[in-house]
Amino acid sequence: MATLWKPYTIVTSISKSPSHRSRSSSRSSTIVMASAERSGTAARRSPSAWETRISLVLALASQASSVSQRYLVELASETAKYAFPRRRFEARNLEEALMSVPDLETVKFRVLKRTNEYEIREVESYFIAETTMPGKTGFDFNGSSQAFNVLAAYLFGKNITSEQMEMTTPVYTRKSQSDGVKMDMTTPVITNKASSSSPNQDKWQMSFVMPSKYSSNLPMPKDPSVSIKEVPKKIVAVTAFSGFVTDEDVMQRESKLRESLRSDTEFQVKEGASVEVAQFNPPFTLPFTRRNEVSVEVERKA
């Protein structure tokens, strides 16, 4: 009997062994797959609150860096306009040869005549933003600063559309004459002296030339002390000088200009014309490189 069962036992053992290995392998595979699925689920889990905060901080840092770089580029571009000024005027003497003007938009004109004392220009029409200066002098520091800040605020966003504009040149100052919206700032800044018929004849007016791209479509100012005017096409006699402007200096140069024009055979001072002062440079400009102009409106002789 032992001899008969032994082969059977062996055969049975041999025949069952592959099947057993197959089931073991299958169970192993199932275990591996389940483990992989659990690993995948763990990998796909939502990030923790800490990880989310870190990601947000990194994103904000990247955005801030991008904005800072853009502002730095814009700042460098604006600084270059003042650091590397462009000469637009033909020099009549050494004083004028040393003058410089920022690379900003300014009023358009063509020269009709040039002498040793003055220049006759035909100036295209342009728009200005204007405000009344406090005090009875046109070039005291406090009055000029207050008026400049009011106009600058309008130019840089204190208007009904909150539009910010580029700088222009010059700034004009004049003694008030009756009547002319943030935009590009032009140059010069104009200071004007009023005619005797003006209700504010003892007041000085400061004005910024408005960027030409707006034309008459200028945003209205929020500050009621700022008015928008159009300066019509005109002919002016101009004389340039350097340094810082004073009221006494303006009076002397205006008187000399009017006296020189008396002997002009083509042009004469227009009746009722008042003096206008243009300043092209920011305050930090060296005195001997500053460009200022005194002008009066003229007309052709009959």
Q: What percent of the chain has pLDDT over 90?
A: 46
Q: Name which residue leads in pLDDT, 103 or 149.
A: 149
Return the closest-CA partner of residue 204 out of 237, 240, 168, 172: 172
For 94-99, what is the mean pLDDT?
78
Q: Which pLDDT band holds residue 202 (cuts at 50, 70, 90)?
A: low
The full set of domain ranges for the chain reads 94-177+201-300
At 208, the pLDDT band (50, 70, 90 cuts) reads very high
Segment 277-297 mean pLDDT:
92
Write down the pLDDT at residue 136.
73
Note the pLDDT tens digit of each residue in 60-91: 667 666 655 554 555 445 444 445 555 567 77
With contact defined as beta carbons under 8 Å apart, do 188 and 278 qualify? yes
Burial of 84 (0-12, 13-18, 19+ CB in 10 A): exposed
Q: How many residues does the chain have?
A: 302
DSSP string, 241-270: E-S---HHHHHHHHHHHHHHHTT-SSEEEP
Q: Cα-flanking dihedrals φ and ψ of residue 214, to 5°?
A: -85, -25
- The pLDDT, as a whole number, for residue 74 is 53
Topology of domain 94-177+201-300 in CATH is Multidrug-efflux Transporter 1 Regulator Bmrr; Chain A (3.20.80)
pLDDT of residue 99: 83
Read off the pTM.
0.66
Q: Report the mean per-residue pLDDT for the chain.
A: 77
